[in-house]
Structure 1
Amino acid sequence: MKAVPRSRIIIASMVGTSIEFFDFYIYATAAVLVFPALFFPKGDDTAALLSSFATFGLAFVARPIGSMLFGHFGDRIGRKATLIGSLLTMGAATFIIGLLPTFDSVGYLAPALLALMRFCQGLGLGGEWSGAALLATETSEPGKRGWAAMWPQLGAPIGFLFANGLFLLLMLWMDFDAKTAATNHAFLTWGWRIPFLASSVIVILGLYVRLQLTETPVFAKAVAEGKKVRAPLAEVVRSSWRQLIIGTFVMLATYTLFYVVTTWVTSYGTGKVVDASGIKLSISFTDFLTLQLISVLFFAAFVPVSGWLADRYGRRPVLLIITAAIIVFGLSFRWFLDPNGIDETVMLVFLSVGMILMGLTFGPMSAVLPELFPTNVRYTGSGIAYNFASILGAAVAPFLATWLVHSYGVGWVGVYLAVAGALTFLAVCAVKETRDVELSDV
């Protein structure tokens, strides 16, 4: 079998995850900006925002199901075909969201359809990440698996940049102010649909790239040696249940950090949530998106740094130091997010620190989680651990943080992040160093 050029593997793993995360993040932005006004009954703004965050969280419930579904085929028939299926599932759901009728048109059917499509988005992404991670790790050069594995992780900041960048351009072009615009404003009528519909174009690009791939050599070797199992899910639960639990909590702080410093803080910083003191914060949505886009550049910059560090010093010591820093960052929220008024410069520092930590903790994960599982259940096992962590650390994060700041004050959101960090620290302590382990020997 002719070897696939390394550059093609890098592009296929990174482009695919960039598309998937673009689709995922345009929903996250719309969950704050659009859906509370258009897809839920008029009334209490906080209740509408919480309802929107609830549908946002549905995808995280679907993601473990997607990892089981696509993981079964990924471990049975191969990585390539399964990656194509996950991309099509995500792309179709995102495109349909761009066509959905609103609450004023069809009543409660609107949020029901929105929830269904969000669930399908979760299914697609649940199968995407582990496949892209295995594509990178199972074709890596000796001693450079952490570096190879960081390429699909770059899809997260790239997707975020394109998603929020497109929303920002649309808002500026259409002169849309989220705080003052009427519900019949052009942006709320049709402009918000453009990112969802445009995703179909980039999905076609992703499909083209992935159709050029061949199967990974590690999986091909496992097939040749007769190591495939009939039921990967049952096998991974039977033989690797400890790794599933540890892997889930290793990812917990990463997920909690990201969705606190992106989705939740967007609603907090733009005045969508009133805190316990009754003071309403006010940064314009376009200004806030600009701050976020700047901070995400730090996320992208530190993903490669983390890949190099993980190969140089090992996965375990790097993650222990970074997780300790996340705990300290969580305990600083009360200073950064002063409820008496947020300075934009301070907010930029807050977002940037959070995104630097995110790049450092997220980058090694596509090496760490696959290294916990044997080849014949690696797609299923790494995907389940990654996506169960999304329920514990991401699905509830915007909802719980909104409730905490409204009921007790912003400092408790940081305590919540610090607790998640402490649980991850303990999980990393339980992980053996896997830097020098051959994937075929796991």
Structure 2
Amino acid sequence: MLRLAAASLAGTAIEFYDFFVYGTAAALVLGPLFFPAFSPLAGTLAAFATFGVGFVARPLGSVLFGHIGDRHGRRPVLVASLLLTGASTVAVGCVPTYGAIGVAAPVLLVLLRFLQGLGLGGEWGGAVLLTAEHAPPERRALWSSFPQIGPAVGFLLANGVMLALSATLSDAQFAQWGWRVPFWMAGGLAVAGLWLRSSLTESPRFLEIDDHARVPLAEVVRDHWRLVLLTAGALSVGYAIFYAVTTWSLAYATERLGVSRSVMLTCIMAAVLVKGAVTPLAALLADRYGRRPLCLAGCTAAVLWMFPMVALLATGAPLPMFVGFLGAMLAFITMFAVIAAYLPELYEPRVRCTGAAVGYNLGGVLGGALTPIVATALAEQGGRVPWGVAAYLTVLALLSLGCFALLPETRPAPVAVERPATG
């Protein structure tokens, strides 16, 4: 289990590195390079729109790779999705800017971002299911939380590289070629990920299935449509919180508040580091007390924290911003640490790869794709403190809270241990 969990963590870290490095570049540099005819605000919105394309592609990737996972096994999904995401990320780093090839530049950017999202849409389901279906029931949330640590590692790696480049290069050098370096690094990381996954064995639960679904998506739509909608709605606030902190706030603070890139990246990375560290703790609590209570607690915390978080961000001071981001990340991970065990347990094994992945990635469209765009527009309409963004995030948190309340508990019942009779 330790070897399997480590390989799943490393793989998801690499895939999310590819996905996150684009988000950071969109917040910092892609607008003026690929949409120079736009105003600064419109350029940022356009860059975030290309960022959102990746989320739109993720449900399609979950359908494509979910079909493979339910029909042919979880393991092939991990290899194919890693290759697709890695190759498209390297290609983003090679796209000429608008000044060199005109409108073809943003078109290529959108296409490659779509392919990134397609690969990541398959990655999560394969990595999580392979770990969850190997894990003992009484520790399923703990072992399944390892792939959920991967996004934090990928984010820290992506932003660490960006931070180092921002600190060592001039603004002109960073805009000319520095931003491309993290994308090129994805090639080496993909090779490392393929090597780590080469020795993984197929899920025993998949091998036990005698009657595989012929068209998994059709069964999911017919028999589990309500569950898919509820899980998508429940997860939307988690995505919204994460990308409000890691993408929108980065653009907002650097452009509107005049905070340096290095300060913002450091504050955000510190909060994400703590989030990654407490992931196993939240998973242990889910194994002890159940999946649903942790999700409800995280949603409730999000409802209460969005207004304070935005107020702390608006100060522009490092310590208050870090505190705001940290509270948001802790609310987020209280929910998402247990999702890797919760979602697979909600779906029957024959359509589990498709159902869990589609619900997970539809939540990304609702929360992740729209949040940077909506938050940027709302912040432009307000004063120094963008209360409209706080209200938007709070409404999403209430929606997710209602969806989690309608989902059942899935924690396996503890196995009773018979004690020898005495007398």
TM-score by length of 1: 0.91
Work out the CA distance in 1 between the residues paired with 2:94 and 2:392: 37
Instruction: Map 1:390-401 onto structure 2 (within 5 A).
Output: 390-401=364-375
Q: Contact 2:21/2:159 (CA < 8 Å) preserved in 1?
A: yes
Partner residue of 1:250? Answer: 234
Partner of 2:223: 239
Equivalent residue of 2:137, what SS? Answer: coil
> Residue 260 of structure 1 aligns with which residue?
244
Counterpart residue number, 1:430: 406
User: Does 1:23 find its partner at 2:30?
Assistant: no
Note the alpha carbon deviations across 1:378-431, whole angstroms, 9 max, x for none.
Answer: 000001000111111110000000011111351111111111111111111111
Letter of the aligned partner of 1:373 in structure 2? Y
Task: Summarize the alignment of residues 196-275 of structure 1 with structure 2, pairs less than 5 Å apart.
Answer: 196-222=183-209, 226-270=210-254, 272=255
Which residue pairs with 2:84 in the alignment?
89
Paired with 2:263 and 2:312, the residues of 1 have a C-alpha distance of 18
String of CA shifts for 1:65-112, please: whole Å, max 9, x gaps: 000000001100000011110111100100100111000000110000
- Give CA deviations for 1:305-335 in whole Å, capped at 9, x if unaligned: 1101111110111111111010001132453
In the alignment, the residues of structure 1 paired with residue 283 and residue 211 of structure 2 have an alpha-carbon distance, to the nearest angstrom, of: 30
Give yes or no for the alignment of 1:316 onto 2:311.
Answer: no
What is the deviation of 1:188? 1.6
Q: Which amino acid aligns with 2:276?
A: A
Question: Secondary structure in 2 aligned to 1:144?
Answer: helix
Question: Out of 93, 98, 101, which is 1:106 matched to?
Answer: 101
- Residue-pair matches, total: 412
**CA contact 2:62–2:361 (8 Å) conserved in 1:** yes
Gap change, CA 1:334 and 1:363, over 3 Å in 2:
closer
Alignment of 1:170-189 (within 5 A): 170-174=165-169, 176=170, 181=171, 185-189=172-176
In terms of mean alpha carbon deviation, does 162-171 or 240-249 score higher?
240-249
Q: What corresponds to 1:275 in structure 2?
A: none
Q: Does the 8 Å contact 2:95/2:108 carry over to 1?
A: yes
- Name the SS for the 1:202 alignment partner: helix
DSSP 3-state at the match of 1:149: helix
Aligned to 2:391: 415
**Residue 124 of structure 2 corresponds to residue 140 of structure 1:** no
The aligned counterpart of 1:302 is 278
Is 1:168 the counterpart of 2:163 in the alignment? yes
**1:268-312 deviation digits (Å, cap 9, x = unpaired):** 111x2xxxxxxx411101111111111111111221111011111
Give the aligned CA root-mean-square deviation in angstroms.
Answer: 1.3
Choose the corresponding residue for 1:328, options 304, 313, 323. 304
Counterpart residue identity of residue 218, structure 1: R
Shift of residue 437 of structure 1?
6.6
CA distance in 1, matches of 2:267, 2:293: 31
Among 5, 9, 25, the residue aligned to 1:10: 5
In structure 1, what is the Cα distance between the partners aligned to 2:211 and 2:228?
20
Instruction: Give the 3-state SS of the residue equivalent to 1:162 in structure 2.
Output: helix
Does residue 73 of the first structure (1) align with residue 61 of the second (2)?
Answer: no
- Segments of structure 1 that go 5 or more residues without pairing to the other structure are 1-5, 273-279
Hey, what's the Cα distance between the residues in 2 that align with 1:333 and 1:242? 33
* Percentage of pairs with the same residue: 42
The one-letter code of the counterpart of 1:103 is Y
- Is it true that 1:361 corresponds to 2:335 in the alignment? yes
Aligned-pair distance for 1:127?
0.3
Equivalence for 2:353: 379
Partners of 2:198 and 2:33 in 1: CA distance: 38
TM-score w.r.t. the length of structure 2 is 0.95
- Paired with 2:162 and 2:413, the residues of 1 have a C-alpha distance of 43
Return closer, same or farther for 1:403/1:101 CA change in 2, 3 Å cut-off: same
* CA distance, structure 2, for counterparts of residue 237 and residue 186 of structure 1: 50
Q: Distance in 1 between matches of 2:57 and 2:342?
A: 23
Q: Deviations over 1:2-30 (max 9, x none)?
A: xxxx2221122101100000000100000
2:419 paired residue number: none
Moved over 3 A (4+): none
Aligned partner of 1:356: which letter? L
Distance in 2, Cα, partners of 1:335 & 1:191: 33
> Residues of 2 paired with 1:44 and 1:96: CA distance?
27
> Structure 1 pair 136/437, CA: closer, same or farther in 2 (3 Å)?
farther
Residue identity opposite 1:33 in structure 2: L
User: Would the aligned equivalents of 2:298 and 2:332 in 1 still touch at CA under 8 Å?
Assistant: no
- SS of 2:159 mapped into structure 1: helix
Which moved further from structure 2: 102-111 or 40-49? 40-49
Shift of 1:342: 2.2
Distance of 1:112 and 1:298 partners within structure 2: 37
408-417 or 368-377, which deviates more: 408-417
